[in-house]
Amino acid sequence: MSAAGTWRLSVADDSTGSTGTLEAWTLALCVDPSLSACGDGVVQAGEECDDGNSDDSDLCSNQCRISCGDGNIDAGEACDDGNRVAGDGCSATCQPDITCAAGEVPVVVSNSTPVAIPDTNTAVLSPVTVATAGAVTKVIVTIAGITHPNDADIDAFLVGPNTVQRELSTDNGSSGDHYRGTQLDDAATTAITSGSAPFTGRFRPEQTLSTTALTDFRGMSAAGTWNLRVLDDASGSAGTLDGWALALCVDPATAGCGDGVVQPGEECDDGNTDNGDACSNQCQLLDGCGDGNLDPGEECDDNNVVGGDGCSATCQPDISCGLGELPVIVTNATATTIPNTHAGVLSPIAIGVPGLVRKVIATVRATHPANSELDIFLVSPYGVQRELSTDQSGANHTATTFADAAGTAITAGTAPYTGTFRPEQTISDAAGFGNQAAQGAWQLRLGDDTPGTTTTGTLERWTLALCVDPSATAVCGNGYVEPGETCDDGNLVDADGCSATCQVELGCSAGLTPVIVPGGGVPVLIPDNDAGGVDSVATVTASGNVVKAVVILHAISHQFDEELDISLISPMGTTRDLSSDNGGSGDDYVSTILDSSAATAVTAGTAPFRGRFVPESGLNVLLGEPAAGAWTLRVADDRSADTGVVGGWSIGLCVQ
């Protein structure tokens, strides 16, 4: 500061009862005569202004600071964010402003009429009118002033022309006084809840204003009356809303909700923002197809009226397929009780169209009081099982559509899961059912994984939608045993137990008869924690004695292979242990050939055991036994918690 001038020592006695005397005082300064200072008329480093005086009542203070930009609300200022940068919500002249993207229109409107805030928990409204047509892309609110002796009593909201209300600040500031030049901006660094009275500057509101379409004001029509809604929610004091301003960025090229045109993200648009009719003020259907609720006559409702995404514009299951692919949609409407067992129940759908699967969508309607106990799987005609939904929250799956392309995972949804969700395991890619044969009996498996409770449920109906490529009916080498194949080890190599044409290489010597017979009664559920397990029988009619025996497991689906014990029982009653407690926590046996002449022991294999393995008990002990009769595959689950399905198997014999 400039040293020259009159300095004063101010001494005061701030309580009664005694007086005193200032006898003398001395001021000592170090003064640099080579440097000018505040009040010399020259703006030096650190000064915002210098008008050549030390008068604190003009625009340049006695500290050489300009009033606008000092972080305090001075006369004529509606805001002051501590800088003179334009476009951040408070302009270089301390008035509300906004910076918009190219092609957008900045709109700033204000209301400076004071409104009394009664101490009665009664809201007051202060309106502003926006005339600019278009969709809102950005919102900043500036509260020029709320005069109130106890800010914790104050609740402030912004209400749009469509009556959508967003929370700006509620019950903040404790016993502090007033709001002064408070900007509410989604991009602000500091939350309003972390601020302190009088909240001068820039803060994030308690709810977003323009970040999320269909939640806040983003994408809504800008034109119309906006209101600042303020109330005092506790007794003891009243106040005044002194004034406020609304700053918007408006995209005139994009129409907003209420313009009569259905835009992306809108389910409807009836040309108004009336929230009492069938189309809400957010342009969402309040009732009927597309409202996200299952109404009479609807099989699904994914909260839109767009076809091809699994649920059509008329709320029926559908699917969008590629060029040359056939859409196939089949429903099983037979109600089926979901027992209180882990293995559960199977509900079939028969697909008669030959070809390869390119896309899968399943829609399920199941009632169950405890989704946390309910496990839902989709099983292909060839025993491949994929997890759709397990152990979710709440009750029921009401028209739940499972599609890999869905934006929301089923694990992130909420009951009753009406809409389209990503399943827990993919169903349309190569890990799922992609590139597999479509024709045959598909199964929906539903189990209750908390046996002993009294809860049961009902599968009311389910629908399977497939895109089928009719140019091929099966693919040898895809790793799944399909029509016309007796094995598929995922390659097209001969002499590895499964030929390049996906036929089991028994290696029968000249003069011996090769016999391959599939097991019957599949698919069949594997009961949980039951040493007796489940049986599937292959009946061999060829006469003669066994010279060689192999077992081909087409598919056994299980979520924890280590729980499985798999054995073969010959017509003579000889039992051989094929695989017990192998695979750890891995899933499934798929195209597994168990052959005593293989190079690798099944105990050294890993799930899903695709290929050729030596069984735990050699099969050579069967040599010389009669081939004809019932060969039994027995599969048991020896621990609780997980279960599965026997999808298919075959016995292979060389018979003399």
Asked if residue 285 has pLDDT above 80, the reply is no
Q: Are residues 344 and 411 in the same domain?
A: yes
Q: How far apart are CA 51 and CA 269, in angstroms?
A: 59
Contacts of 299 (CB under 8 A, 6+ apart): 311, 315, 316, 317, 331, 363, 365, 399, 461, 463
Q: Are residues 166 and 229 in the same domain?
A: yes
Question: Among positive and negative, which fits the CA dihedral 425, 426, 431, 434?
Answer: positive
605, 527 Cβ separation under 8 angstroms: no
Q: How far apart are CA 576 and CA 573, in angstroms?
A: 10
Contacts of 267 (CB under 8 A, 6+ apart): 279, 283, 284, 285, 290, 291, 303, 304, 305
473, 354 Cβ separation under 8 angstroms: yes
* 386-395 per-position pLDDT tens digit: 999 999 999 9
Q: How far apart are CA 9 and CA 15, in angstroms?
A: 19
Q: How far apart are CA 142 and CA 241, in angstroms?
A: 12
Q: How many CB atoms lie within 10 A of CB 300?
A: 27
pLDDT of residue 494: 95
Q: Are residues 373 and 441 in the same domain?
A: yes
Q: How far apart are CA 131 and CA 438, in angstroms?
A: 58
| β-bridge pairing 336-338 and 457-469 | antiparallel
Q: How many residues does the chain have?
A: 656
Asked if residue 94 has pLDDT above 90, the reply is no
* Average pLDDT for 154-159: 94
Write down the mean pLDDT value for the chain.
90
- Which of 477, 385, 468, 373 is closest to 423 using CA atoms? 385
Contacts of 74 (CB under 8 A, 6+ apart): 67, 68, 80, 94
Return the CA Rg of the chain: 38
Asked if residue 62 has pLDDT above 90, the reply is no
Asked if residue 513 has pLDDT above 90, the reply is yes
Q: How many CB atoms lie within 10 A of CB 70?
A: 18
Structural domain contains residue 353:
yes
Q: Are residues 332 and 424 in the same domain?
A: yes
Number of H helices, E strands in the chain: 0, 30
The residues pairing with 469 across neighbouring beta strands, listed in sequence order, are 356
pLDDT band at 575 (very low <50, low <70, confident <90, very high): very high
Lowest-confidence segment of 150-164, 186-200, 294-308 by average pLDDT: 294-308
- Please calculate the CA angle 56-57-62 and round it to the nearest 5 degrees: 15
Asked if residue 56 has pLDDT above 70, the reply is no
pLDDT band at 183 (very low <50, low <70, confident <90, very high): very high
Contacts of 396 (CB under 8 A, 6+ apart): 366, 367, 368, 371, 415, 416, 417
Structural domain contains residue 215:
yes
Q: Are residues 357 and 459 in the same domain?
A: yes
- Which of 636, 647, 646, 644 is closest to 445 using CA atoms? 644
Q: Are residues 120 and 179 in the same domain?
A: yes
- Phi, psi for residue 565 in degrees, rounded to 5: -120, 120
Asked if residue 435 has pLDDT above 80, the reply is yes
pLDDT of residue 461: 96
Q: How far apart are CA 571 and CA 651, in angstroms?
A: 12
Structural domain contains residue 301:
no
Q: Are residues 423 and 358 in the same domain?
A: yes
pLDDT band at 281 (very low <50, low <70, confident <90, very high): low
Asked if residue 276 has pLDDT above 80, the reply is no
Q: How far apart are CA 257 and CA 291, in angstroms?
A: 16
| β-bridge pairing 644-655 and 513-518 | antiparallel
Asked if residue 293 has pLDDT above 90, the reply is no
pLDDT band at 280 (very low <50, low <70, confident <90, very high): low
Asked if residue 212 has pLDDT above 70, the reply is yes
DSSP SS3 for 603? helix
* Average pLDDT for 272-285: 66
**CATH code of 155's domain:** 2.60.120.260
Asked if residue 69 has pLDDT above 80, the reply is no
pLDDT of residue 394: 94
pLDDT band at 275 (very low <50, low <70, confident <90, very high): low
Q: Are residues 59 and 150 in the same domain?
A: no
Contacts of 184 (CB under 8 A, 6+ apart): 140, 141, 142, 143, 158, 168, 169, 192, 203, 204, 205, 209
pLDDT of residue 652: 97
pLDDT of residue 288: 73
Q: Are residues 109 and 62 in the same domain?
A: no
- Phi, psi for residue 603 in degrees, rounded to 5: -65, -20
Structure-derived torsion over alpha carbons of residues 284, 289, 291, 297, reported in degrees to the nearest 10: 160
Structural domain contains residue 32:
yes
Structural domain contains residue 479:
no
pLDDT band at 274 (very low <50, low <70, confident <90, very high): low
DSSP SS3 for 633? strand
> Which residue matches tokens 């735990």?
616
- Which of 302, 321, 322, 325 is closest to 312 using CA atoms? 302
pLDDT band at 622 (very low <50, low <70, confident <90, very high): very high
Structural domain contains residue 139:
yes
- What whole-number percentage of the chain has pLDDT above 90? 66
Structural domain contains residue 85:
no
| Token output for 291 | 């409202």
Q: Are residues 547 and 630 in the same domain?
A: yes
* Average pLDDT for 76-89: 75
Per the structure, the complete domain to which residue 529 belongs is given by: 513-655
207, 166 Cβ separation under 8 angstroms: yes
Point out the domain boundary residue: 217, 251, 285. 251
Q: Are residues 131 and 59 in the same domain?
A: no
DSSP state for residue 279 in the 8-state scheme: B
Q: Are residues 126 and 241 in the same domain?
A: yes
Structural domain contains residue 256:
no
- Which of 205, 194, 202 is closest to 98 using CA atoms? 202
Q: How far apart are CA 308 and CA 314, in angstroms?
A: 11
**How many domains does the chain contain in total?**
4
> CA 568 → CA 339, 397, 547, distances in Å?
29, 39, 16
Q: How far apart are CA 239 and CA 117, in angstroms?
A: 5
Q: Of residues 253 and 433, which shows the higher confidence score?
A: 433
- Please calculate the CA angle 230-235-237 and round it to the nearest 5 degrees: 70
